[in-house]
Amino acid sequence: MGKFVNNTEEFFKYCEENEVKFVDLRFTDMKGMWHHLTYMLSAVNEDNLTNGMPFDGSSVDAWQPINKSDMLLKPDVETAFLDPFTADSTIILFCDVYDIYKGELYEKCPRSIAKKALKHLSDSGLGDAAYFGPENEFFVFDDVKIKDEINESHYRVDSDEGCWSDDEEYETGNMAHRPRTKGGYFPVQPTDSMVDLRAEMMQILEQVGLTVVLGHHEVAQAQGEIGIVFGDLIEAADNVQKYKYVCKMVAHLNGKTCTFMPKPLYGDNGNGMHVHQSIWKDGRNLFYKEGEYANLSEMARHYIGGIFKHARAVAAFTNASTNSYKRLIPGFEAPSILTYSSQNRSASCRIPYGAGEKATRIEMRFPDSTACPYLAFAAMMMAGLDGIKNKYEPIGPMDDDLFELPLDEIRERKIPQMPHTLRGSLEALIRDNDFLQPVFSKDMIDTYQHYKFETQVWPDEARPTAFEFKSTFSC
């Protein structure tokens, strides 16, 4: 699909043609959350589009202090698209954050960090393009209840597709066609109840500029996925933000709720964000070498080795919540063993089947959608480039079902694993972050890990759970 406008002149012409009344400026924080503020079109001109729009940086978590709060949003007019959900015609622009005090792109703005990562790639001479293809899975529930108090804590998610609904009373009767636990991969209607909902998502995703390939029910109950064509690092991360926005809004307008939470259901598959990656130069895929294992070049192998070498630190960005690590357990297509393999979904890095140079790529399978996509993609690329520089060799290939590999054998063969908790990944980031610099500043890394400890790790570790009552109350 691609761009709707290419420059400022086309932007205003496009606004006129579509009777645009509002311009919605969007930027991303370190959590990956999208924020926005809306201008009247009459207040927007070429000057402020070029020089930036002011906003309060101190009101965004872990950004500026109140005494240095003034910042600028610098819109990228080439990202313009019409909001499909507003009552009045509104055009959305992705923005970078500009630091007026240092006179440069803000060091804590994820999209700006991703741009610096691409420049680092170009300056290194190793490549001139980095392509990323994320696969974001999601759940659609009918009802969600949450309570988190000093003396009680519980949640309940509900879906007509859930096996727990077998004995529910419905006005129209209980039809009993359900995917069952781990039974949701590709059933037709009526077992797949989300066909029309996904179709609506797919059409609106095309409407906002993404190229959609397919949509299908995923393995878990109430779980789905929509396949999007890959893009360069920035475009791919932008597309994740569009994708999540559209899926959540379509579900919401249909009286349902969509979540990208990694593990909302105990005992069923979770939501991943598998990320396909390749480095190119002068129009040539540098990850391709005909005749090698899975046609994978030495450069690609070393790129994998770099990600695995720094995986525990990278996980702080790719698996950015405490819930992330409840997904990274054997048996649920969420691999945590750091090896690579051709077509093997139990390996942390899979080499997908593909004929020829253009299709050869790697697929990292451990990330999830609690990641800020700009930070996750940039961190993986920086680790990969460090692997190329230092010629790190990954363990593998291993073509066995790694989910069946006993823990003793994993330890005996010294096969590295992903961290088991967010605390573990953040502590690894504190020890191992040189590979991220100068793209990720020391201040940004320090702020990020402190913020994650304060908002995720410590609150989670302080709370008793229902399982703890079940297992320890009578001790």
Residue 1 pLDDT: 58
Residue 2 pLDDT: 74
What is the per-residue pLDDT across 291-318, written as a single tens digit (0 to 9) for each? 999 999 999 999 999 999 999 999 999 9
What is the per-residue pLDDT across 450-469, written as a single tens digit (0 to 9) for each? 999 999 999 999 999 999 99
Domain that holds residue 75: 8-106
Note whether residue 3 is domain-resident: no
Same-domain check for residues 197 and 61: no
Residue 398 pLDDT: 85
Same-domain check for residues 382 and 446: yes
Same-domain check for residues 223 and 368: yes
Same-domain check for residues 102 and 155: no
- Among 54-63, 253-262, 394-403, which is the least confidently predicted range? 394-403
Give 411's pLDDT tier (boundaries 50, 70, 90).
confident
Same-domain check for residues 333 and 284: yes
Last residue of a domain, one of 75, 106, 137: 106
365 annotated among ligand-binding-site residues: yes
Q: Please state the rounded mean pLDDT for residues 75-91.
A: 98
Same-domain check for residues 43 and 174: no
Note whether residue 416 is domain-resident: yes
Same-domain check for residues 309 and 401: yes
Give 404's pLDDT tier (boundaries 50, 70, 90).
confident
Note whether residue 113 is domain-resident: no
Same-domain check for residues 69 and 177: no
pLDDT at 388 over 80: yes
Same-domain check for residues 94 and 152: no
Residue 249 pLDDT: 98
363 annotated among ligand-binding-site residues: yes
Model's pTM, two decimal places? 0.96
The answer to whether the CB of 236 falls within 8 A of the CB of 118 is: no
Q: What are the catalytic residues?
A: 56, 135, 137, 218, 225, 274, 345, 363, 365
Note whether residue 216 is domain-resident: yes
Note whether residue 410 is domain-resident: yes
**Tokens coding 343:** 């077509």
183 annotated among ligand-binding-site residues: no
What is the per-residue pLDDT across 109-128, written as a single tens digit (0 to 9) for each? 999 999 999 999 999 999 99
Same-domain check for residues 56 and 156: no
**Tokens coding 87:** 């009552």
Q: Please state the rounded mean pLDDT for residues 415-442.
A: 96
Same-domain check for residues 147 and 102: no
Last residue of a domain, one of 39, 74, 106: 106
pLDDT at 355 over 70: no
pLDDT at 332 over 70: no
Whole-number Å distance between alpha carbons of 472 and 214: 47
Residue 396 pLDDT: 84
277 annotated among ligand-binding-site residues: yes
Task: Provide the phi-psi class of 32: left if phi over 0, else alpha when psi is between -120 and 50, else beta.
Answer: left
| Burial annotation 388-422 (CB, 10 A radius, 16+ → b, else e) | beeebebbbbbeeebbebeeeebeeeebbbbbebb
What's the total number of domains in the chain? 2
178 annotated among ligand-binding-site residues: no
Residue 210 pLDDT: 97
Total residue count of the chain as it appears in this document: 475
% the chain with pLDDT above 70: 99
Note whether residue 45 is domain-resident: yes
Give 331's pLDDT tier (boundaries 50, 70, 90).
low
pLDDT at 208 over 70: yes
Note whether residue 119 is domain-resident: no
Pairing mode, if any, of strands 231-232 and 257-259? unpaired
What is the domain-level CATH number for residue 82?
Answer: 3.10.20.70
152 annotated among ligand-binding-site residues: no
What is the per-residue pLDDT across 125-165, written as a single tens digit (0 to 9) for each? 999 999 999 999 999 999 999 999 999 999 999 999 999 99
Same-domain check for residues 86 and 134: no
Name 260's Cβ contacts closer than 8 Å, sequence gap at least 6: 136, 137, 138, 244, 271, 273, 368, 369, 370
Q: Please state the rounded mean pLDDT for residues 279-297.
A: 95
420 annotated among ligand-binding-site residues: no
What is the domain-level CATH number for residue 377?
Answer: 3.30.590.10
Whole-number Å distance between alpha carbons of 29 and 374: 10
Name 340's Cβ contacts closer than 8 Å, sequence gap at least 6: 301, 304, 347, 348, 349, 350, 351, 362, 394, 395, 396, 397, 398
Give phi and psi for 302, each to the nearest 5.
Answer: -70, -35
Q: Please state the rounded mean pLDDT for residues 236-240.
A: 98
Note whether residue 118 is domain-resident: no
